[in-house]
Amino acid sequence: MGRTIKNYVSLTKPRVMELLLVVTVPAMILAEGRMPNLWLVLATLIGGAMSAGSAGAFNCYIDRDMDRKMKRTKNRPLVTGEISDRNALIFAWVLGVVSIAWLALTTNLLAAGLGAAAIFFYVVIYTLLLKRHSEQNIIWGGIAGCFPVLIGWAAVTGSLDWAAWAFFLIIFLWTPAHYWPLSLRYRDDYAAAGVPMLGVVRGRVTVGLQTILYTWATVASSLLLIPFGPMGWTYTVVALVSGAYFLIEAHKLYSNVIRGEEGQPMKVFHASITYLSVLALAIAIDPLLPF
């Protein structure tokens, strides 16, 4: 029973889910201007986790043929046969429907609609239409990862303000800078599976350059929250310092690849996670401070 539960949990891609939920609470605090009702926060996190988990399970079902060809995904339960294709598809549908119903009942219809849109975007736009056919897959497919910000904001206010869209833009621009170094590390896997990731079709130098450009765009967009938030000195300082750290790591990778070296793409990947986590923490703390 424990192994079965663990396999179903793995279908939801919990690491991706954790990263998405990291930005939900800060968005809710910023929307409220203070700590929101704790039950509302919990309900939104549960609904958001189920929505993200449903999208992840659909993705595992659709991509099971590619997962069999990649070393990184060879132990997923649909590849090993520990969960049947039929059961995985039922699980994904049930989790998705329950997540939308849960958000509608515990938050509001706008948040529920955004949850449904997030699932649709990840499953249809990214997984079915873009992932196998376009090197731009991460750019536009990454929009799905921006929805937790909007869901959290909508759960609190029942609307979407400019600050919510500024936060959305940060995640949108951050996603390629976060994911392309990972695709560089596993470029052989993606090539074997026939996935046209940027690192496969364009090479290391292009990945390094694009990572720098999107990192600069991410850091610049983070400053938009200062007037739109509005944010105070705590956020401003953290955004500049953490942004500088992210930029340094991105530039190091590019410097290595233009010299013909492999570089350390996973260092940039982990730096991107640190950057977003620290920035989200600053967004959560800043509205609670008197200055």
Q: Are residues 56 and 11 in the same domain?
A: yes
Residue 71: exposed, middle, or buried by beta-carbon count in 10 A (0-12, 13-18, 19+)? exposed
Contacts of 255 by beta carbon, 8 Å cutoff, 6+ apart: 263
CA angle 273, 65, 94 (to 5 degrees): 70
Neighbours of 94 (CB within 10 A): 13
CATH number reported for the structural domain that contains residue 181 in this entry: 1.20.120
Question: Do 215 and 250 touch, CB atoms closer than 8 A?
Answer: yes
**Is this prediction's pTM over 0.85?**
yes
Sequential pLDDT tens for the chain (291 residues): 788 889 898 999 888 788 778 899 999 999 999 999 999 999 999 999 999 999 999 999 999 988 888 888 888 899 888 999 999 999 999 999 999 999 999 999 999 999 999 999 999 999 999 888 888 888 888 888 899 999 999 999 999 999 999 999 999 999 999 988 888 888 888 888 788 888 788 888 888 999 999 999 999 999 999 999 889 999 999 999 999 999 999 999 999 888 877 778 899 999 999 999 999 999 999 998 876
Residue type, 238: V
In 157-208, where do the E strands start and end?
none
For residue 113, give its domain range: 1-159
CATH number reported for the structural domain that contains residue 58 in this entry: 1.10.357.140
Q: Are residues 24 and 110 in the same domain?
A: yes
Q: Are residues 36 and 148 in the same domain?
A: yes
